[in-house]
A = this chain, B = another copy of it.
Amino acid sequence: MNEPARDARHRVERSKARARYDRDSVHAILDAGMLAHVGFCQGAQPFVIPMLYARDGDTIVLHGSVASRLMRELGDGIPASLCVTLVDGLVLARSHFDHSVNYRSVVAFGRARVLADPVAKTAALARFVDALIPGRAAESRPADASELGATTVLVFEIEDASAKVRDGGAKENAADLALPYWAGVLPQRSVFDAPRPQPDLVAGVDLPDSVRNLLAREGATR
């Protein structure tokens, strides 16, 4: 995709070489994450809220309690912004100035609408569970009518989005290369520790395939 117009809200202004505007780059980062920071305005006051999400095509599905003020505000279709950031490592340079972080991020702009249809809501909640742990929805009980009634599902339509990726080593001035300091990258990733089963599982219930597969997936970064 081409670079957006000069005044476009999703245009990356700094470190343009790190910018990506194509759908595949944006989707890959959204699919690798699970936590979004969602922003909206009440008058001039911004709010930024952490929310779990699941991508569905060019939309991002969010959910929360029907009693949530924030869900109501967002569901009214006010302008919203959503950011997903994955940190891949610390970058150490010979100068303070050139220290950095390797990361992948997406900033998306759009509006949310309430998903009211119970069948679509049930499917969205199952998709949520599978977004957290692939295959898990089939291993647990779908939402019932009372749970659906207690949950607001929002569909955030991505209108504009950009991705930004920084990778590789330190970018340093030639003059700094002679300094007797260490420089390099500390790769960083998220791992799972041993599962802790609830103490009251039905006798004979083993660790399910979804969890086994997740733990077996090497180098998973969430």
Contact = CB atoms under 8 A, between A and B. Distances in A.
Interface residues of A, number: 101
B181 A205 contact: yes
A126 B96 CA distance: 7
A92 B141 contact: no
Contacts of A189: 190-191, 193
Contact of A92 (B125, B140, B182): B140
The secondary structure that dominates the A interface is: mixed
7 contacts: A14-B65, A34-B101, A37-B83, A89-B192, A92-B140, A97-B143, A184-B197
Interface of A: 9, 13-14, 34-35, 37-41, 44-50, 52, 64-65, 67-70, 78-83, 85, 87, 89-90, 92-97, 99, 101, 103, 105, 107, 109, 125-126, 128-129, 132-133, 136-137, 139-144, 147, 151, 169-170, 172, 176-202, 204-208, 211, 214-215, 222
